[in-house]
């Protein structure tokens, strides 16, 4: 359909979850000197202005990154590591004292990966792809393709580096995307069983998420964790929560998430905030 634009939603509570967890994974993988391959199946533009009309129309970032940006110095110093690292990265991306821009997933990888690492970015939307090329220009580590990210996830695996991270966060414009994303990651794991995979999903209809969980549990894949962060219970209209299913997560991730998600739920939504940290499939 190609009508989805993430610029309407940049910096919202779902981005806080997705990017804080993704940054932790990238930091963990780069602790060892061996090269890492990063694949982003639905890259978007890589950068967003929160002053643009699209972000201002919805202002979803106000209930997301803005609530963390405005923490006092004392509050920020007491944050758990996963949240502290995430906020530090957002402040690095902004060039002013005020919150004006928000990075997309490719920027986090571009910033955290090293000279010896490699990135493949996929974005099908013509306008988004054009902006992506502008935002990554000059970086020889990156190859960008205006192709279907689901197919790319299979075609590029296994990577020559033998260490890698695949991030999949489709727009779910088409309801079939829930099943396509799940099936694609299960196939990808068969080709590259040692890779780390993260699937982002929105919680709009809980039964769709239940089906995803059942499919991964039945897949035979070991060591799968699930994390959710929400601003309302499921019965509220619209996207009330979002989640990340992580295959082969860093051993540090669960502890960091258990320390961070309760705080994020309270900070972003007060008493209405909800979260989940679960080992969906054991090692």
* In the block, residue with structure tokens 């792809």: 129
Q: How many helices (H) does the chain have, and how many strands (E)?
A: 11, 10
- pLDDT of res. 17: 97
Positions of the chain with pLDDT lower than 50, given as ranges: 1-3
Tokens of 246: 């992580």
Helix axes 105-112, 13-29, angle to 10 degrees: 20
- pLDDT of res. 5: 59
- pLDDT of res. 100: 93
- pLDDT of res. 4: 53
DSSP symbols for 180-232: HHHHHHHHHHHH-TTSEEEEEEEESSHHHHHHHHHHHHHT----EEEEEEESS
pLDDT, one tens digit per residue, over 63-121 is 889 999 988 888 888 899 999 999 999 999 998 889 999 999 999 999 999 999 999 99
- pLDDT of res. 20: 97
Question: Residue 162: how many CB atoms within 10 A of its CB?
Answer: 13
- H-helix or E-strand containing 246? strand 241-247
Q: How many CA atoms lie within 13 Å of 5's alpha carbon, on the beta-carbon side? A: 16
Query: 0.75 cut: is pTM over it?
Result: yes
Query: Looking at 15, 117, 169, 177, which residue is catalytic?
Result: 169
Q: First CA to last CA across the chain, in angstroms? A: 38
- pLDDT of res. 48: 87
Q: Which of 161, 155, 241 is nearest to 196 (CA)?
A: 161
Annotated catalytic residue 169: yes
- pLDDT of res. 262: 96
- pLDDT of res. 41: 96
Tokens of 57: 């129309």
Question: Residue 56: how many CB atoms within 10 A of its CB?
Answer: 12
Q: Which of 193, 12, 11, 30 is nearest to 110 (CA)?
A: 30
């Amino acid at each position: 359909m190609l009508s989805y634009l993430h610029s309407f939603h940049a910096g919202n509570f779902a981005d806080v979850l997705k990017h804080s967890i993704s940054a932790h994974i990238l930091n963990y993988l780069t602790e060892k000197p061996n090269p890492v391959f990063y694949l982003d199946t639905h890259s978007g533009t890589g950068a967003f202005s929160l002053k643009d009309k699209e972000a201002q129309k919805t202002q979803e970032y106000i209930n997301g990154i803005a609530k963390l940006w405005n923490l006092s110095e004392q509050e920020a110093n007491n944050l758990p590591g996963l949240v502290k690292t995430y906020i530090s990265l957002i402040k690095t991306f902004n060039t002013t004292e005020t919150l004006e821009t928000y990075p997309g997933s490719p920027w986090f990888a571009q910033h955290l990966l090293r000279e010896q690492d490699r990135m493949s970015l996929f974005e099908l939307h013509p306008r988004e792809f054009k902006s992506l090329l502008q935002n990554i220009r000059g970086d020889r580590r990156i190859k960008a393709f205006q192709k279907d990210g689901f197919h790319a996830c299979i075609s590029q695996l296994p990577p020559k580096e033998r260490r890698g991270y695949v991030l999949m966060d489709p727009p779910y414009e088409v309801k079939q995307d829930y099943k396509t994303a799940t099936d694609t990651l299960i196939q990808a794991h068969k080709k590259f069983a040692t890779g780390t995979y993260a699937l982002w999903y929105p919680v709009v209809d809980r039964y769709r998420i239940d089906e995803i969980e059942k499919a991964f549990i039945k897949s035979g894949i070991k060591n799968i964790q699930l994390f959710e962060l929400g601003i309302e219970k499921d019965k509220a209209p619209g996207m009330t929560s979002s989640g990340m299913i992580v295959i082969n997560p860093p051993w540090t991730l669960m502890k960091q998430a258990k320390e961070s998600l309760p705080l994020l739920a309270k900070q972003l939504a007060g008493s209405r905030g909800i979260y989940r940290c679960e080992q969906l499939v054991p090692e």
